[in-house]
Amino acid sequence: MSKAYKTDRPIDGIHCEVASCDFHAPDHKCTADCIKVGVKSTDSGSQCADCETYTKKESCCQ
């Protein structure tokens, strides 16, 4: 997937609680032009969903 871009219009139907993401809007919306959700393996060997579009906000805690 190519890099996602921030838009003025959130994606309908997407609810995001990840406030540290650059695409997160205060009303729990996603302002990326598109998203990609993949699979991430945990240390225990199970799998969970992973938003591959996530980009850490520059102003977020270090």
User: How would you write 19-61 as a 3-class SS string?
Assistant: CCECCEECCCEECECCCCEEEEECCCCCEEEEECCCCECCCCC
pLDDT digits (tens, 9 = 90+) for 1-57: 668 999 999 999 999 999 999 999 989 999 999 999 999 998 999 999 999 999 999
Distances (CA, A) of 19 to 1, 2, 13, 15, 28: 22, 22, 17, 11, 8
Helix (H, G, I), strand (E, B) or coil at 13: coil
pLDDT at 60: 59
* pTM, entire model: 0.79
Distances (CA, A) of 1 to 4, 5, 22, 34, 37: 8, 12, 17, 10, 11
